[in-house]
Amino acid sequence: MEKYVINGGNKLYGRVKIQSAKNSVLPILAAAVLTDGKVRILNVPHITDVGNMVKILIRLGCKAEYSGEDILIDSSSANCFEIPSGLAHELRSSIFLLGSLISRFRMAKIAFPGGCDIGLRPVDLHLNGLKRLGVEITEKNGYILCKCEKLTGNEIMLDCPSVGATENIMLAAVKAEGATVIKNAAREPEIEDLQKFLNAIGAKVSGAGSGTVVIEGVKNLGSTDFQPMNDRIEAGTFLVAAAMCGGEVELERTSSENISSLLHKLRENGCNIHTKNDKIVLERSRRLMSVKSVETQPYPGFPTDLQAQITALLCICKGQSIVTENLFETRFKYVPELRKMGADITVINRSAFVRGVERFKGATVIAHDLRGGAALVLAGLAAEGRSEVLDISHIDRGYGSFEYKLRAIGGDIARVAI
Ligand code: UD1
């Protein structure tokens, strides 16, 4: 067990290089199972979600070899279609393997996935999509069992634009017979990245980034070296950190387009933001003003994965705000922790009513999930005095070298064994 000890109050100055996107790397790792070719994924972030996905691939019989920041996956030796509950519970993204395994083995057995406890997180859309491709599915003793004679392309209409369901169906359809059309597909940039990767190994996928994704089945897939897109949520977290602490921070290897909804809010708050090519610079010298409301939405709306961080920021802005979470039911678990630090927030149903206070005060708080945990770290950095953030294994799931990157720009934060 480890915790962060933070002495708050330092302004942040300097550069941060943004990691490859967790939510892009995970489905790409799952996609590597589809091919007998060799796949090299470049600049893979050192986060536990990736480590757990690699453990699962090895369990399935794939070879995985790290070389510096890159990872080489060779799935030609894959010989197992079952993911045991211990590993599936560590990682929600293990569900993506359903699409890849059914495509490769015509069989898959996977325990219901775990991941951040931020709501019900059903997988009905994933399963209904696979059924439309000809997969027979039964659920027994906490396991999902899938089998099929063959996969046949079909039209699939998603009830809501689920990121995971869109990706899972893409993976299952890549080698199906005929064309699959996913309607009301999620439009997140990570889906476009998965399309790029699949096409790089020889698939025929188009339309990702729009509401309709078309996958024409192919027989064989090959090898590639692939650089995943940058992590827009990590980028957003560092921008909010700079907005909360003050100072001037430059992000490298990022894309302003991918987080325009956040930049829009931060500008409304009073931050100075400049963007050029793959760089974003945020400067904040005065106290920020609240924005009236933030509502999470599927992309290109405000990302649910930045909801906790922006709420922490609004807690120390001048004025009142309402933050509404439309995607996940229990994504306000960090709120009682922020209250321990002096925040004035009331949660009613899916909305948090925030009344800005002058500053956070240092306290001992507990991270309950990945993004909520990151928000607590930001609050600690901006607070007066010393804070401790416990249960930081949640944060390690998604932020590589978090404390090193924060220290490099002036944050006083240390990882301490308990
Ligand atoms: C992905 C991201 C996660 C992000 C989320 C929303 C990854 C690895 N994770 O999660 O970081 O917070 O998108 O941007 O990429 N739903 C159903 N049935 C389903 C599937 C989803 O009802 O079968 C609902 C969910 O409960 C939720 C909404 O659809 O309300 C969106 O979820 P989804 O887009 O699937 O999120 P994930 O893929 O789990």
- State the closest ligand 1 atom to the C-alpha of 121, by its place in the atom list counted from 1: 26
386 strand-pairing partners: 7
Q: Which of 226, 246, 278 is the last residue of a domain?
A: 226
Instruction: State residue 114's pLDDT score.
Output: 60
Instruction: State residue 119's pLDDT score.
Output: 52
Q: Which domain holds residue 273?
A: 2-19+230-417
Instruction: Please check whether residues 53 and 182 belong to one and the same domain.
Output: yes
Task: Quote the number of domains for the chain.
Answer: 2
Q: Using a 6 Å CB cutoff, which residues line ligand 1? A: 23, 26, 92-93, 119-126, 160, 162-165, 186, 190, 304-305, 327-328
Instruction: State residue 94's pLDDT score.
Output: 87
Q: Could you report the per-residue pLDDT of 269-291, keeping only the tens digit for each?
A: 999 999 999 999 999 989 999 99
Q: Which of 173, 193, 226 is the last residue of a domain?
A: 226
What is the C-alpha separation between 217 and 153, in angstroms, rounded? 7
Instruction: State residue 271's pLDDT score.
Output: 97
Calculate how far, in angstroms, residue 289's C-alpha sits from the geometric centre of ligand 1: 31
Instruction: Please check whether residues 187 and 271 belong to one and the same domain.
Output: no
Instruction: Please check whether residues 293 and 412 belong to one and the same domain.
Output: yes
- State the closest ligand 1 atom to the C-alpha of 233, by its place in the atom list counted from 1: 11
What is the C-alpha separation between 55 and 86, in angstroms, rounded? 11
Instruction: State residue 16's pLDDT score.
Output: 98
Identify whether 116 is a catalytic site residue.
Answer: yes
Test site for ligand 1: of 160, 234, 261, 371, most ligand atoms within 8 A of the Cβ? 160
- State the closest ligand 1 atom to the C-alpha of 123, by its place in the atom list counted from 1: 23
Asked whether the beta carbons of 101 and 108 are under 8 A apart, the reply is yes
Instruction: Please check whether residues 41 and 177 belong to one and the same domain.
Output: yes
- What's the CA dihedral at 396, 399, 401, 402 to 10 degrees? -100
Instruction: State residue 151's pLDDT score.
Output: 97
Instruction: Please check whether residues 176 and 49 belong to one and the same domain.
Output: yes
Instruction: Please check whether residues 330 and 302 belong to one and the same domain.
Output: yes
Q: Report the CATH number that the domain containing residue 291 is assigned in CATH.
A: 3.65.10.10
Instruction: Please check whether residues 146 and 216 belong to one and the same domain.
Output: yes
Instruction: State residue 116's pLDDT score.
Output: 54
Q: Which of 169, 197, 226 is the last residue of a domain?
A: 226
| pTM for the structure as a whole | 0.97
Instruction: Please check whether residues 213 and 252 belong to one and the same domain.
Output: no
Instruction: Please check whether residues 95 and 113 belong to one and the same domain.
Output: yes
Question: Which residues of the chain register pLDDT less than 70?
Answer: 114-120
Instruction: Please check whether residues 129 and 235 belong to one and the same domain.
Output: no
Q: How many helices (H) and strands (E) does the chain have?
A: 14, 24
Instruction: Please check whether residues 327 and 251 belong to one and the same domain.
Output: yes
CA-to-CA separations, 252 to 234, 238, 249, 272, 400, in angstroms, rounded: 12, 11, 10, 17, 15
Instruction: Please check whether residues 199 and 331 belong to one and the same domain.
Output: no
Q: Is the dihedral angle over the CA atoms 78, 82, 84, 89 positive or is it negative? A: positive
